[in-house]
């Protein structure tokens, strides 16, 4: 009787037979799916390579995907590596997979091309689809559906309505009235706090991490302007949001670079539901990754702090009278029907917009000031004469007409050390760039402010720090100097960042002098924004000395 149960065709063996048939059917389905994908990908890649054939390859990267190996080997100096492989070319390409449309990119250094895909054909070029592009998948995992990650134009799910809505509300904080009241008051208050901290005798007994000072200054400023919270991290008060944000950003970038090859392979060779950014294989890969677990732990802290900020604002009886950006979003929530996640994602995006970029600008600016005594001396002379201690600071008194050398130092710092050294958009349709260069749908269009600022045809002696090149000042077109992007997605906080940096610089240089600590190996970090790295730490060590206004350093 037992033998009968185990014979083929018996009732007990039926589940095993069904399971085996299911596995065979899925294997056949998966094989056909991958085969069709490979054929389709090969045809798409062939078309893309044909359309891109006239564009020269980046140096040493003629073979498909060879650029990925170079990027991984040069990750700690990736901006210089990208400059070297593009040097002398206004347009060049990195060739993608033979069996997939992924990995094809065009790097543009010609301002006319940058204008084309950032402004003139704005709707044709947008952010990458997170379900298809691993870079944008991890950016969305980090920043959510905020103003930096949400898509616009032809490729967006809602024709860009969410992005336009975010931008419209965010723009309300950047009015001239706010510049000359809320922002001015906060920036001056927080700059004075930083100067007071740096002036203490105990601070001046050893080299101080000035970059950390600038990150606390900008964090305290945006916490007040964007979120209505009066933090005091300059004096050492804990800020969980800022600390978790830095750790999450670094972990996410390290994991993303390690994962690029895996994503491209799984997307091409694994069938549904295993392949792709949303597939099971990716979930297992991320779960087993120590860097991804590190990222997720910090992301949970960030989420908890965002919850706290939103709930504190909702509980504030004076919320409707507040002028901070979070309050503006929550005031609009009733009419626009925002979800709480929407507001929290905006909070996170505003952190990177308002804190990191300006802190990076100030760090590199004072790195150049500290290592160029002649620049520091001339700056202090201009400030002592035009903006002495006690004189109020506002938009007019800090303009390029009133303080031309300070303005030149800011722009020269942005030229050499742009806070966001590289950015990209994805072509949603076949297109033609200025000059007749064909670009197929799916190509990543890359622009590099780091490279463009070092173009010897535009900036003689490009590696030299020469503020004089900006005097007399003539504002460069945004597509020629895309430090703040260009076109409809140009940075809303551009003027705020420059205003904040000038207030901090004037307040510090009125009372202090700076000297770079010798022996540091200064380079840039591996974060989204280009902060300073010295050895294995993100820091800028300087000696600080008090000075009397009007006296030589």
- What fold, for 52-546? Cytochrome p450 (1.10.630)
139-143, 170-174, 219-223, 339-343: least confidently modelled range: 170-174
* CB-side neighbour CA atoms (13 Å) of 151: 23
Q: What pLDDT, on the 0 to 100 scale, is given for residue 326?
A: 86
Among 390, 412, 389, 408, CA closest to 399? 408
C-alpha distances in angstroms, 234 versus 14, 189, 304, 331, 506? 71, 11, 22, 30, 18
390-401: average pLDDT: 94
d(CA 104, CA 303): 35
Whether 52 and 445 have beta carbons less than 8 Å apart is answered as: no
Each residue of 498-528: b (16+ CB within 10 Å) or e?
bbbbbbbbbbbbbbbbbbbbeebeeebbbbb
DSSP 55: S
Can you say which residues are annotated as belonging to the binding site? 491
Q: What pLDDT, on the 0 to 100 scale, is given for residue 1?
A: 46
Return the beta strands (E) in 62-137 as ranges: 91-94, 105-108, 125-126
3-7, 135-139, 457-461: least confidently modelled range: 3-7
Which residues does 61 contact at the CB level (< 8 Å), separation at least 6?
A: 67, 70, 85, 94, 95
Task: Give the confidence band of 483 by pLDDT, cuts at 50, 70, 90.
Answer: very high
Whether 413 shows a pLDDT value over 80: the answer reads yes
Task: Give the confidence band of 551 by pLDDT, cuts at 50, 70, 90.
Answer: low
Please provide residue 123's backbone torsions phi and psi, each rounded to the nearest 5 degrees: -70, -15
d(CA 486, CA 424): 12
d(CA 261, CA 255): 11
Each residue of 349-363: b (16+ CB within 10 Å) or e?
bbbbbbbbbbbbbbb
512-519: average pLDDT: 97
Structure tokens at 553: 């350093």
Among 416, 331, 326, 315, CA closest to 365? 416
Among 472, 552, 541, 526, CA closest to 210? 541
pTM over 0.75: yes
Whether 216 and 195 have beta carbons less than 8 Å apart is answered as: no
Can you say which residues are annotated as belonging to the binding site for heme? 491
d(CA 109, CA 290): 37
């Amino acid at each position: 009787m037992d033998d009968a149960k185990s014979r083929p065709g018996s009732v007990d063996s039926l589940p095993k037979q069904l399971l085996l048939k299911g596995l065979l059917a899925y294997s056949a389905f998966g094989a056909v799916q991958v085969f069709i994908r490979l054929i389709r990908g090969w045809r798409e890649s062939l078309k893309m390579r044909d359309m891109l054939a006239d564009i020269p390859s980046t140096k040493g990267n003629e073979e498909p995907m060879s650029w990925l190996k170079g990027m991984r080997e040069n990750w700690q100096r990736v901006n210089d590596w990208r400059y070297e492989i593009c040097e002398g070319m206004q347009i060049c390409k990195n060739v993608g997979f033979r069996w997939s449309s992924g990995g094809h990119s065009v790097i543009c250094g010609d301002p006319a091309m940058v204008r084309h895909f950032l402004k003139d054909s704005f709707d044709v070029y947008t952010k990458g689809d997170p379900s298809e592009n691993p870079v944008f998948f991890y950016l969305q995992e980090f920043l959510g559906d905020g103003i930096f990650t949400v898509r616009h134009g032809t490729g967006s799910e809602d024709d860009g309505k969410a992005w336009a809505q975010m931008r419209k509300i965010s723009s309300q904080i950047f009015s001239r009235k706010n510049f000359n009241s809320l922002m001015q008051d906060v920036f001056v208050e927080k700059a004075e706090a930083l100067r007071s901290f740096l002036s203490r005798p105990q601070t001046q007994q050893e080299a101080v991490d000035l970059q950390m000072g600038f990150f606390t200054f900008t964090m305290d400023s945006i916490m007040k302007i964007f979120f209505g919270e009066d933090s005091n991290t300059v004096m050492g008060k804990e800020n969980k949001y800022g600390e978790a944000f830095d750790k999450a950003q670094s972990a996410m970038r390290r994991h993303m670079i390690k994962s690029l090859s895996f994503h491209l392979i799984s997307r091409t060779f694994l069938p549904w539901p295993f392949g792709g950014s949303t597939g099971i294989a990716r979930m297992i890969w991320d779960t087993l990754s120590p860097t991804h677990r590190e990222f997720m732990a910090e992301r949970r802290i960030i989420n908890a702090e965002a919850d706290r900020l939103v709930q504190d604002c909702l509980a504030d009886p004076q919320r409707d009278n507040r002028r901070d950006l979070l309050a503006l979003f929550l005031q609009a929530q009733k009419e626009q029907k925002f979800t709480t996640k929407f507001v929290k994602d905006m909070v996170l995006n505003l952190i990177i917009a308002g804190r990191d970029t300006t802190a990076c600008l100030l760090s590199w600016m004072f790195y150049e000031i500290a290592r160029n005594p002649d620049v520091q001396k001339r700056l202090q002379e201009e400030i002592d004469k035009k903006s002495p201690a006690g004189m109020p600071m506002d938009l007019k008194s800090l303009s390029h007409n009133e303080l031309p050398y300070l303005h030149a130092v800011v722009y020269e710092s942005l030229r050499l050390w742009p806070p966001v050294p590289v950015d990209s958009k994805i072509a949603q349709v076949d297109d033609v760039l200025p000059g007749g260069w064909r670009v197929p749908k799916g190509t990543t269009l890359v622009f590099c402010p780091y490279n463009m600022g070092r173009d010897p045809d535009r900036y003689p002696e490009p590696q030299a720090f020469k503020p004089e090149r900006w005097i007399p000042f003539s504002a460069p077109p945004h597509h020629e100097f895309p430090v703040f992007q260009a076109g409809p997605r140009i940075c809303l906080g551009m003027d705020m960042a420059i205003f904040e940096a000038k207030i901090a610089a004037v307040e510090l240089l009125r009372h202090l002098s700076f000297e770079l600590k010798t022996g540091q190996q200064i380079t840039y970090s591996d974060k989204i924004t280009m902060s300073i790295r010295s050895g294995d730490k993100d820091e800028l060590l300087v000696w600080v000395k008090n000075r009397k206004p009007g006296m030589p350093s």
